[in-house]
Structure 1
Amino acid sequence: MRVFITGATGFIGTAIVQELISAGHQVLGLARSDASANKLIEAGAEVHRGDLEDLDSLRSGAASAEGVIHAGFIHDFARFKEVCEVDQKAIETIGQVLARSNRPLIVTSGTALVRPGKLATEDIIPTFNPEWPRASEQAAEAVAALGVRVAAIRLSPSVHGHGDHHGFIPMLINLARQKGVSAYIGEGLNQWNAVHRLDAAHLYRLALESGAPHARYHAAAEESITLKTIAEAIGQQLDIPVKSVSAAAAAEHFGWFAQMAALDCPASSKLTQQWLNWQPTHSTLLADIESGVYTQ
């Protein structure tokens, strides 16, 4: 299959490119710079110049492909509402090209706000949260109405592994280094879920090849890891103290990241594993922290 991928040179996208090429697919990767283009060429992929805000580039890329994986997202939390709108328009633009063609479109969402405070499962459809306005699944529903064979992959808040420089774990580690202490909020019993980038990439391929229309899949290899456990692993790796900060003091300690540090979002992938025979095999989040993946 000839597959057009947005976000093809990102942390997750590079793993998806390799996963697809290894399985015999042809990959056409979106690239906005010469550096990104060279990265794709070295990986064995074709280059399609453009970016997520260049809608014409998305149209032509999708038109030339037999399937599309939309893994790109502008990770700019300073203008988060705006980049969520860019994401929505990108999905709608690609969807219009694929309408009534039976070509698959895989979009990217997250598990974090599916069911805050309770175990999230694939059959739950979250309500729109204006404070966290990523609308990828809503956009996917809109293009499904056009006859697009669309499915969503919900990524864990921690997609970990070698090369993770900008995710939430590096943010926690950098903050711990700055403050001289690895912290969690309150008792630290709030839970994240996690997945290795290579396991996530494998799930994208399975969803592309065998996914059902309108399906939602969870890229969550570990459904529950407390923030206290993560903070303790970081503290041990950096050889610094670990402590609790009160909810009232969280904003002062964590800054804008306080909301994420307080997030309680366990998520199951039992249905995903059953539907697609997805079996995560790579290292756990704590194993990556403890082995020095983030501190070497």
Structure 2
Amino acid sequence: MRIAITGPTGAIGTALIKEAISAGHEVIAIVRPGSSRMSNVAVTKGVEIIECDISDYASLHGKRQCDAFFHLAWMKTFGAARDDVYSQVDNIRYALNAVDLAESWGAKAFVGAGSQAEYGHSEVSLNGSVPVDPTSGYGIAKYSAGKLCRLFCQQKGLRFNWARILSVYGENDADHTLIMYLIHTLLEGGVPELTKCEQMWDYIYSKDAAYALLCIGEKGVDGKVYCIGSGECRPLKAYVEDLRDAVDPSKEVRFGVKPYYPHQAMYLCADISELTADTGFRPRYGFKKGISELIGIIRQG
């Protein structure tokens, strides 16, 4: 199978490339020209890198062929930029342009990357049937893109799936995430200062998230929305303590120093039963195994 991936330079995209190559597939990686993270993309047999801006997918029409198309690219994903409404509207249009490109490349399946932000605040385990109530511009745009891409794929005869991805950690993740902040601070001899970390949370290793996406690309049921997570719900403090112990059990972490963000979600867990039933996906990494591997990679530089 040949797959195309937009947004292939982050934790999920780079892991998806490696997972696909390991499974014997070919990959076309569509990367933003001049991306500072271009070097994250594996340069190996079976991987073709094409430089193209998210706003210019039309320039690639008809130039390649693929069986499945994974759209991960998205602008303005962090901080106040998530509520930049005009940029988020652009993201919806770019997602539809990705469907157009997938059709022009002969793809039979389109898989779009959604987000936990589509749900807003929820106190139940998340799956494709749980009602959504996004509050951020980012979450609203992701939900809108998913609904419109589904309609567009129906019109074009493409199998469609939308993957609402929960909290991912892994190699090539952004430094501003909690996991990366903790690892770097502890390795550098600092003392992380956190909230009470009372949230119930679901973390999934990037390798497992990539495996889930590939399972959806191969076996997803047309039209379905799937949540991607580990399916394990634990207090956030337990994850932090496992990470600290993997670095050095004697290290100090200060809990309760910082206040929670306004409107902080306190429960974020995935129900992956439907994903497992439809595609056979089961996580291969527990948090302790995944975080130990990631810390080892970072220590090696």
Aligned position for 1:72: 73
Report the Cα offset of residue 8 of structure 1. Answer: 1.9
Distance 1:131 1:56 in 2: 26
The one-character-per-residue Cα deviations of 1:140-198 (angstroms, maximum 9, x if unpaired) are 221322314211112121x223444533311345577797344223xx33111111111
Matches within 5 A, 1:46-85: 46-57=48-59, 59=61, 64-74=65-75, 75-82=77-84, 83-85=87-89
Matches within 5 A, 1:169-248: 169-173=179-183, 180-185=191-196, 188-236=197-245, 237=247, 239-245=251-257
Report the Cα offset of residue 139 of structure 1. Answer: 1.4
Does the C-alpha gap of structure 1 residues 293 and 126 become closer, same or farther in structure 2, counting only changes over 3 Å?
farther
Aligned position for 2:9: 9
Q: Is the 8 A contact 1:119 1:265 kept in 2?
A: yes
Does the C-alpha gap of structure 1 residues 59 and 10 become closer, same or farther in structure 2, counting only changes over 3 Å?
farther
> 3-state SS of the aligned residue for 2:122?
coil
Q: Is the 8 A contact 1:116 1:264 kept in 2?
A: yes
Distance 2:55 2:263 in 1: 27
Does the C-alpha gap of structure 1 residues 144 and 286 become closer, same or farther in structure 2, counting only changes over 3 Å?
same
Q: Is the 8 A contact 2:122 2:267 kept in 1?
A: yes
- Aligned pair count reads 282
Distance 2:83 2:57 in 1: 19
Runs of 5+ unmatched residues, structure 2: none
Does the C-alpha gap of structure 1 residues 290 and 47 become closer, same or farther in structure 2, counting only changes over 3 Å?
closer
Identity across matched positions, percent: 20
Aligned position for 1:254: none
> 3-state SS of the aligned residue for 1:68?
strand
Report the Cα offset of residue 205 of structure 1. Answer: 1.2
Does the C-alpha gap of structure 1 residues 133 and 164 become closer, same or farther in structure 2, counting only changes over 3 Å?
closer
Q: Which stretch shows the higher mean deviation, 29-38 or 119-128? A: 29-38
Does the C-alpha gap of structure 1 residues 43 and 171 become closer, same or farther in structure 2, counting only changes over 3 Å?
farther
Distance 1:272 1:162 in 2: 24
Q: Is the 8 A contact 2:200 2:269 kept in 1?
A: yes
Distance 2:282 2:213 in 1: 13
Distance 2:190 2:39 in 1: 38
> 3-state SS of the aligned residue for 1:154?
strand
The question of 1:135 aligning with 2:141 is answered yes
The question of 1:107 aligning with 2:118 is answered no
Aligned position for 1:123: 129
The one-character-per-residue Cα deviations of 1:78-98 (angstroms, maximum 9, x if unpaired) are 422345334322211122345
> 3-state SS of the aligned residue for 2:27?
strand
Report the Cα offset of residue 270 of structure 1. Answer: 1.4
Does the C-alpha gap of structure 1 residues 97 and 47 become closer, same or farther in structure 2, counting only changes over 3 Å?
closer
TM-score (ref. length: structure 1): 0.79
> 3-state SS of the aligned residue for 1:183?
coil
Picking from 95, 99, 102, the partner of 1:91 is 95
Picking from 36, 43, 49, the partner of 2:38 is 36
Q: Is the 8 A contact 1:233 1:290 kept in 2?
A: no
Does the C-alpha gap of structure 1 residues 6 and 229 become closer, same or farther in structure 2, counting only changes over 3 Å?
same
> 3-state SS of the aligned residue for 2:145?
helix
Picking from 270, 275, 279, the partner of 1:276 is 279
Aligned-partner residue type, residue 111 of structure 2: I
> 3-state SS of the aligned residue for 2:232?
strand
Report the Cα offset of residue 106 of structure 1. Answer: 0.4
Aligned-partner residue type, residue 140 of structure 1: G
> 3-state SS of the aligned residue for 2:74?
coil
Q: Which stretch shows the higher mean deviation, 100-109 or 189-198? A: 100-109
TM-score (ref. length: structure 2): 0.78
Q: Is the 8 A contact 1:104 1:208 kept in 2?
A: yes
Does the C-alpha gap of structure 1 residues 105 and 89 become closer, same or farther in structure 2, counting only changes over 3 Å?
same
> 3-state SS of the aligned residue for 2:44?
helix
> 3-state SS of the aligned residue for 1:145?
helix
Please give the root-mean-square deviation of Cα atoms over the aligned residues, in Å: 3.3
Distance 1:290 1:20 in 2: 23
Report the Cα offset of residue 33 of structure 1. Answer: 4.0
> 3-state SS of the aligned residue for 1:54?
helix
Runs of 5+ unmatched residues, structure 1: 252-257
